[in-house]
Structure 1
Amino acid sequence: MAASGRTKRDDWLDAGLEILAGHGAPAVTIERLTERLGLTKGSFYHHFGGMAGYKTALLAHFEEVCTTRLIDLAERDPDASPMARLERLMELVVSDADHGPELEVAVRAWAQQDAEARALQERVDRARVGYLRALWLDHSGDAEAAERIANLFYLITIGGSHIIPPLPAPDLRGVFELGIRLAAQEGTPS
């Protein structure tokens, strides 16, 4: 294991996410991975057993770095208000240069063609919307509004990555900030 706590297995998975984001799921091949990393096929097989094992690990890695890690970072200060956690999450999503909109688009395209990728995408979507819903519910106490607001914020995130070209980070940040202000006005008792 490297001094940073990373393993060669992590390197394989990170390289897979880069190839996936840049070229799509069909481009994620053993040959491309070994070429990119300068490692042997033997090392690949040692870590994953084959492409089926790698695909499963790659999807789990995507979920970890692009969902679980971000939620964990947003929750780092358990005493922070729900709005502070939401703003922290927004900033994490907007500033995640290593996992940009191209990766989200590539995984969603893969999910249209592959049952395992689809199951992962559905689980990721549920987790992300569920977290947003829980934050807004904690903020407002209104379950119906929490559902609508969670969907609004998630649609902003996904829509911002699917337009061509993707919405630049400063513009996405501005849309999120506007969404938060508008949602906060809706959640204010009359």
Structure 2
Amino acid sequence: MAGTTRLRVQDWLDAGMTALAAHGPDALKAEPLARALGTTKGSFYWHFADVPAFHAALIAEWSAQANTALFDVAEQAETHTRALRRMAQQIAAPAPDDPHAAVEPAMRAWAAAHDGARKAVAQVDAARLTVITALLERVGVSNPEIARVILAAAIGLPRNPPGDPMGTLVDLVLALR
């Protein structure tokens, strides 16, 4: 990236997502990120006032990506049942080719010690819960606890578990209506 290519804010955010997923929040500092991008810390500070400003931008980017993915899945499905199933699966097991698939567990871990990350995770979870609840209601399941169970299972499953446990859970819930 260094040399004649001028870095953009998005380049730094992408590098931050990769670093967070691979090494945790301690890697979210100007010097290691600059090294990873083959540039200097000066480029970092050209784009961000300081490391906390970078953290805030990174958290906002993750939140925006998570919400976009949520609504894209819900809107693209042919039926409410398929939307519910795909959305739950996307949370539990994002596409293997998604470059930021490992970011969510790292963001959740970071949220244990970082207020901004904690707030963003809570907002993303609230949006997911709202959509799951609405989809369940549209297919005739009105118990809001079921939405919480589906979200909790999706969040708690290891990334890309064997089989299709999330799909099975959603199918079970739908069979009970």
Gaps of 5+ in 2: 1-6
Native 8 Å contact 1:20 1:27 kept in 2: yes
Shift of 1:126: 0.9
Is 1:68 paired with 2:67? yes
More helix by share: 1
Shift of 1:169: 4.3
Q: How many residues align?
A: 168
Shift of 1:24: 1.0
Q: Alpha-carbon deviations, 1:124-156, whole Å to 9, x = none?
A: 11111111111111221x432xx2221122122
Taking the aligned partners of 1:12 and 1:46, their CA distance within structure 2 comes to: 11
> Structure 1 residues 8, 169: closer, same or farther in 2, change over 3 A?
farther
Shift of 1:40: 2.8
Is 1:50 paired with 2:40? no
User: 1:21-40, aligned counterparts within 5 Å?
Assistant: 21-40=21-40
Partner of 1:9: 9
Shift of 1:19: 0.9
SS at structure 2 position matched to 1:39: coil
Is 1:83 paired with 2:73? no
Taking the aligned partners of 2:151 and 2:80, their CA distance within structure 1 comes to: 16
- 1:41 counterpart letter in structure 2: K
CA-based RMSD: 2.0
Partner of 1:179: 169
**TM-score calculated relative to the size of structure 2:** 0.84
Tell me the percent identity.
Answer: 29
**TM-score calculated relative to the size of structure 1:** 0.78
Native 8 Å contact 1:129 1:150 kept in 2: yes
Task: Using CA pairs under 8 Å that are at least 6 residues apart, name the structure with larger relative contact order, 1 or 2.
Answer: 2
Gaps of 5+ in 1: 1-6
Partner of 1:118: 118
SS at structure 2 position matched to 1:75: helix
Shift of 1:170: 4.2
SS at structure 2 position matched to 1:143: coil
User: 1:88-167, aligned counterparts within 5 Å?
Assistant: 88-93=86-91, 94-97=93-96, 98-100=99-101, 102-140=102-140, 142-144=141-143, 147-161=144-158, 166=159
Taking the aligned partners of 1:45 and 1:113, their CA distance within structure 2 comes to: 24
Shift of 1:55: 0.5
> Structure 1 residues 143, 119: closer, same or farther in 2, change over 3 A?
same
